[in-house]
Structure 1
Amino acid sequence: MTRLNISNSGISDSIPDTLWNHLAPLATQDLSNNEIRGTIQDNQGSTALLLNSIDLSSNHLEGPIPSFLFQVVSLNLFDNRFSDMNSLCSNNTNLSDMDFLDVSYNQLSGELPDCWSRMDSLRVLILGNNMLSGKIPASFGLLTRIEILHLSNNNLTAELPSSLKNCTELVIFDVGENKLSGPVPTWMGESLTKLVILSLRSNIFTGSVPSELCNLIDLQLLDLSSNNLSSGVPNCLDNITAMKAIGGSDSAIREPYQPHRTRGWGGVPMGFYNENLFLVWKGALLAFKNLGLLKNIDLSSNKLSGDIPREITQLIGLVSLNLSRNDLSGQIPQEVGELKSLDVLDLSKNHLFGRIPSSLSQIDRLNTLDLSTNNLSGKIPLGPQLQNRDPAAYMGNPELCGVPLTKKCPGEEEPTISGATEDHADDQEKDEFITRGFYISAAVGFIVAFWGFCLPLIFNKSWRYRYFKSLNSVEDWLYVTVAVHKAKLLRIIKS
């Protein structure tokens, strides 16, 4: 028997110390996804060093990691409660064969051990989601074969050591959620040319976004969000060839997961590794596993200024573009509609002005759009992609109008719903005509006409006589006319 797999078996017990002395001729041992608890005693005379792969992930093991476990080729301790890995630097530990080490999601604390020069075969190192502190040791730069390096969600400080530029095989580099400071190194774009994923999110990096990052033509994910970066967005991002390709391509990412060496047990891979990367996606921190489908640029929550470079619209394979919470100004590039693969576009909380480009309505895949809190103006372009959205996507732009906002654009008429609405509109028109000013004007006109007629009669005697004489004549004429018509009527009745 060369392989022992008792994973997912509901085992709830501690590991007997004698187990490690009876493993020969086992090559792989998988005890993952159980409820195994307790500590593992260090046993330098253990035959465990004959193992190539040990998987104790997703259990409840605690205490320091025994040194003999580090003498295997692949060691997976993911999701336990180990608190110390200082035995890594034990003089009696042979580290030269280790290819894969995952101690993420544990309770490691203190500074990182500094003996990485002895691990010249290491290709995958995962130490994220612990409580590690202090500087990243310069000896990390001696891991010349390293392809995946995860140190995210710890308390690491200071600058990134320049020795890391020697890790030229790096494909995935994730140091997000730490307290790293200093500028984003230019050597990343000059030396780490195989990078596919670069995440420096949620640190204290300062300075500008180096244009050297545009040399990373295989880059599919660039996350520099939540730092203190200033200056502008590089206008050379269109040099990143991988972001111009439409559709998923995970060939460059999958290859590091499968260790090159099998150590002679019939070609069986010496372990498994399900890549997991945390990203802020649509406003929430989510874990992604299928990284080959991600093509993402996130520069949000910095102090970037200037215009959005027009060149960024040539990255037609982009799935997510987040430039929110910066000091960007200028207009949204008219060619933004060229980003046909976009699922998420967030430009909120900037100082963008001008009209929303009509080409934006041509992005059929756009599920999440946020243009709020800017200085955009004019009518929201027609199209279901822009008008069938929550109005919150446009809030905070006082000069913006049109559906789905309640603010109507100049020249737009209120729609009528029924005849009652029309009657109500007519009543409103009448009410608007017979106003207070109308009554005042009528009263003034009556007073002026009355006194304009009466005053001459009072002060001009001849006019007064003529007026009353005419009244008498009218009275006599009426009397005679009525009398004549009355006599004629009586004569007709008698006859």
Structure 2
Amino acid sequence: MFMPKSPMDTLHFSCIQIAIALLLFTQANSTTEGSTSALHPNDAIPSCVAGEKSALLAFRAGLSDPASLLSSWKGDDCCRWNGVYSSNTTSHVVKLDLRGPEDGCGVETRQGLAGNISSSLLGLKNLWYLDLGCNGFDEIQIPEFMGSRHKLRYLDLSASLFIGRIPPQLGNLSNLRYLSLGNEDTYSTDITWLSRLTSLEHLDMSGVNLSTIVHWLPLVNMLPTLKVLRLPHCQLRISPDSLDISSNGFYGPFPDGIGNMTSIVELDLSDNNLVGMIPSNMKNLCKLETLDFSVNNIDGSIAELFHRLPSCSRNKLQWLSLHDNNLTGSLPTTLVEPLRNLNQLYLSDNKLTGHVPVWIGELKQLTNLDLSSNNLDGVIHEGHLSRLDMLVELTLSDNSIAITVSPTWVPAFSLGIVELRSGQLGPKFPMWLRWQTHVTSLDISNTSISDIIPDWFWTAASSVESLNIRNNQITGFLPSTMEFMRAEEMDFSSNQLGGPIPKLPITLTNLDLSRNNLVGPLPLDFGAPGLRTLLLYNNMISGAIPSSLCSLRALRLLDLSRNGLNGSITDCLVNESSTNMTGLGIANLSLRNNNLSGEFPSLLQKCPRLIFLDLGHNQFSGALPAWIGEKLSSLSFLRLRSNMFYGHIPDELTELVNLQYLDLGYNNISGSIPRSIINCTGMTQTRDNDDLQDAFTFGVYSAGNYLVNYTENLTVLTKGQERLYTGEIIDMVNLDLSCNSLSGEIPEEISALVALKSLNLSWNNFNGKIPENIGALMQVESLDLSHNDLSGEMPSSLSTLTSLSRLNLSYNNLRGEIPTGNQLQTLEDPAYIYIGNPGLCGPPLSVNCSSQPEPIPGENHGDASDDLVSFFLAMGSGYVMGLWLVFCTFLFKRRWRVSWYLLCDSLYDWVYVHVAITWSSLRGKING
């Protein structure tokens, strides 16, 4: 039977329901021969009629019965068989209920009856009720003889895998009140037979192909007693307006014929593509109790829509759902007819403006109020809320509404859902929430609260399953009793909460405490074995990473970046890393910007599903282990930037075929680039990144909002500057080996990494020529080979890099003419690109290649001693003048003086770090 849907149900329907639904069908079983009170199943007093027993046995003979629905069909008295009901006055079988198991209904694998339906059922001449739904009569049509059972009042053949044409003989069943034929592989080219079913109250033809039917709405209007009509996925069309009703729903304006269906009790046209305003003749629907036009394209004024609602049914209307449309304007300030019985009002996701009218507070039967995602403003006060005793859901999120009530006000309602995101509750913590102790979903994020979190809040929120207070200025500590809460998702991010992290609730699966002021070490016992997401970045957490992290086997995402964590990362305890364990399930691990030290963590060998790993900006040291290629085979992003790693790049690293982002910059890695880098197909071909999506973005969808919403972000040094990448980082293909001690020639295999968007090999000791085929990197946007010892001429293929927007070849030993090409001529700051290469000539440089002589080895140009004297004289005089100028400037410019000292300090720190790294490397080589 059709049941009205909640907004969330509508949004998640995979099959669009095109239902003109009127009333939940109540079977009219009066005190007649077919009355329920007159039926005797199983323990019936009368004996079975012999002819009807024979008919039932013949019917059973043509069936298979995998679910043993007919296992009781034994013995002489058929009145005692399951599913068989007889009259206590005549002993005739009047009801046959052989519906299949409900858990298999709607799926192709049926556990009910199958086979052929025998015409022996015609022997049950007094049968008025027949239910064969949810069975498996695949590959057979609905038998035509069904139309010969003239006494039938109830016929259900739905979801039983019938195929083919719906027999028009069903139009002979003039006594039918309930008819359900919903089967997806059936069709009808003519439904005029429906007009003969003058007693019909409930009609369900869900999924029946009616694509050739044009005049179906006038025909339906001819059924005088019809109360429920279900026609989803019927591919209907309406004439004369040619309204197409495909599996995606209605298209076009609302049909005016709706206004002629005066018996309608429930009207559901949700989840379609209807446009315009609702018909004005809807005022004729005086029996209307449920109206659902949600998820359409209704436009125009909300006040006009309310005006077109039938005033004759306003005291009957219980359900009004108009969410996800394009309604505009303000809600009417007054109502001519009050909506006394309205209990569900959904107006979310429109374009409504203005204040919330006070008449909302007069809807005393209201249980669900959803006005979220509009442009409403103004104040909601006690007058709006005091009389809503029945309210259980209050959803006002994503408006500019301020809730202003007395701090001593005690609401009469007991809410289960409170969604007030992006409204105005602060600056004080809303005291009225203290009395809402049965809330399961609470969202007060981004509500301008700048107050200490009260102790009573943790008590009131102890039963909350989904808790969101993010993006406020809330202070205070997390409670020591936090482990006794029932929460599954918690988002406390972007506040000013302090203190340590207590033991977590055992039910918790997702936690975001990022961007707070949390201090102290990580808990030795997290207390949440099912934790999948743990976000603690941007705090002041200190100490070591405990081995108890290994107990979080379900953890997929862990971000501890930008804290004060220190020490080395210990391996899992022996009893937590036994050979029968499959390892940790973590896919995204970010530990960047801490003070962690030690060698590359051996713990990571137990993380075979790791896709993203960021250890950048720490103090890790040692050589990169060869096991990375074997143990971390799923790795796509590896960022080890700004550490103290040394040694060669292991060949095994190139076994990471999915690797598309490798950043080893600012370490002390030596040796050459392995030629096997070509094996990293993540850099050689553009890939479908859908498989990376779960590792880079994560959110729990709750009450129309993403709770614990996370998108991986990285600062990437590319195009000569640091750029922040958020969600788009998933598409970044990057190789950064800058600021190391790599040497040798750049291998030709680099040119095969054609998916690269950024290549940075600067500040190394590379020599030899730039690979001739470098122009094959057609997607590269940033190419930096500066500060090396590269020689020879620039490859002409550089001019073919059409995606290139940043090039840096400065401070090498390149010579010859700069290649010409449209792309090279469009680059910014062209002189800087080639500075430090005195042998280069041609545009954009001012050096003319034809006038530049070739250098002759051993030739002495001029007197070297004279040049040397002149050089020192010029340098000395310049030094004195420069020193005097600086001294005078600093004497009178205090701000310049301070800036100079700060610059000197930073330069000193930079020199000190690089000297320390180089010295450490030299000692390692000497000791080695």
Q: Is the 8 A contact 1:168 1:191 kept in 2?
A: yes
Deviation at 1:139, TM superposition (A): 2.3
Tell me the equivalent position of 2:531: 98
Deviation at 1:69, TM superposition (A): 5.7
The letter for the 2-side match of 1:51 is A
Distance 1:24 1:64, change over 3 A: closer
2: CA distance, partners of 1:68 / 1:212 = 40
Question: What are the residue-to-residue correspondences of 1:152-163 with 2, within 5 Å?
Answer: 152-163=592-603
Tell me the equivalent position of 1:256: 695
Distance 1:360 1:309, change over 3 A: same
Tell me the equivalent position of 1:26: 464
Distance 1:33 1:260, change over 3 A: closer
2: CA distance, partners of 1:369 / 1:261 = 42
Distance 1:261 1:66, change over 3 A: same
Partner deviation per Cα, 1:115-136 (whole Å, 9 max, x = no partner): 1132111111100011111001
Q: Is the 8 A contact 1:295 1:318 kept in 2?
A: yes
Deviation at 1:70, TM superposition (A): 7.7
Q: Is the 8 A contact 1:95 1:118 kept in 2?
A: no
Q: Is the 8 A contact 2:612 2:695 kept in 1?
A: no
Question: What are the residue-to-residue correspondences of 1:225-236 with 2, within 5 Å?
Answer: 225-236=665-676
The letter for the 2-side match of 1:124 is L
2:488 is the counterpart of 1:52: yes
The alignment partner of 1:78 has SS state of coil
2: CA distance, partners of 1:35 / 1:267 = 23
Question: What are the residue-to-residue correspondences of 1:232-243 with 2, within 5 Å?
Answer: 232-243=672-683
Which structure is higher in helix share? 1
2:835 is the counterpart of 1:398: no
Tell me the equivalent position of 1:223: 663
Distance 1:69 1:408, change over 3 A: farther
The letter for the 1-side match of 2:534 is L
1: CA distance, partners of 2:721 / 2:542 = 27
The letter for the 2-side match of 1:380 is I
The alignment partner of 2:461 has SS state of coil
Distance 1:257 1:73, change over 3 A: farther
More moved, 271-280 vs 220-229: 271-280
Q: Is the 8 A contact 1:189 1:215 kept in 2?
A: yes
2:575 is the counterpart of 1:136: no
2: CA distance, partners of 1:41 / 1:266 = 26
Deviation at 1:269, TM superposition (A): 7.2
2:750 is the counterpart of 1:312: yes
The letter for the 2-side match of 1:89 is L
Q: Is the 8 A contact 1:355 1:377 kept in 2?
A: yes
More moved, 357-366 vs 62-71: 62-71
Question: What are the residue-to-residue correspondences of 1:123-202 with 2, within 5 Å?
Answer: 123-139=556-572, 144-202=584-642
2: CA distance, partners of 1:107 / 1:259 = 24
More moved, 18-27 vs 76-85: 18-27
Identity across the alignment (%): 39
Tell me the equivalent position of 1:284: 721
Partner deviation per Cα, 1:461-494 (whole Å, 9 max, x = no partner): xxxxxxxxxxxxxxxxxxxxxxxxxxxxxxxxxx
The alignment partner of 1:352 has SS state of strand
2: CA distance, partners of 1:107 / 1:144 = 26
1: CA distance, partners of 2:445 / 2:646 = 46
Tell me the equivalent position of 2:174: none
The letter for the 1-side match of 2:603 is S
2: CA distance, partners of 1:137 / 1:70 = 25
The letter for the 1-side match of 2:552 is M
Query: Could you tell me which of 203, 213, 227 is aligned with 2:643?
Result: 203
Partner deviation per Cα, 1:100-147 (whole Å, 9 max, x = no partner): 101001111222233113211111110001111100121299661111
2: CA distance, partners of 1:245 / 1:156 = 35
Partner deviation per Cα, 1:186-211 (whole Å, 9 max, x = no partner): 11111101111100010000000111
2: CA distance, partners of 1:223 / 1:70 = 38
The letter for the 2-side match of 1:271 is V
Task: Please give the TM-score of this superposition, normalised by the length of structure 2.
Answer: 0.42
Deviation at 1:380, TM superposition (A): 0.2
Tell me the equivalent position of 2:477: 39
1: CA distance, partners of 2:538 / 2:708 = 18
Specify every segment of 5 or more residues in structure 2 that has no aligned partner in the other structure, as ranges: 1-415, 417-439, 578-582, 853-928
The structure number with the bigger radius of gyration is 1
How many aligned residue pairs are there?
404
Q: Is the 8 A contact 1:306 1:329 kept in 2?
A: yes
Tell me the equivalent position of 1:437: none
The alignment partner of 1:62 has SS state of strand
Tell me the equivalent position of 2:786: 348
CA RMSD of aligned residues (A): 2.3
The alignment partner of 2:629 has SS state of helix
1: CA distance, partners of 2:665 / 2:519 = 30
Tell me the equivalent position of 1:67: 503
Partner deviation per Cα, 1:26-71 (whole Å, 9 max, x = no partner): 2211111111112223115x642x1111001111111112223686
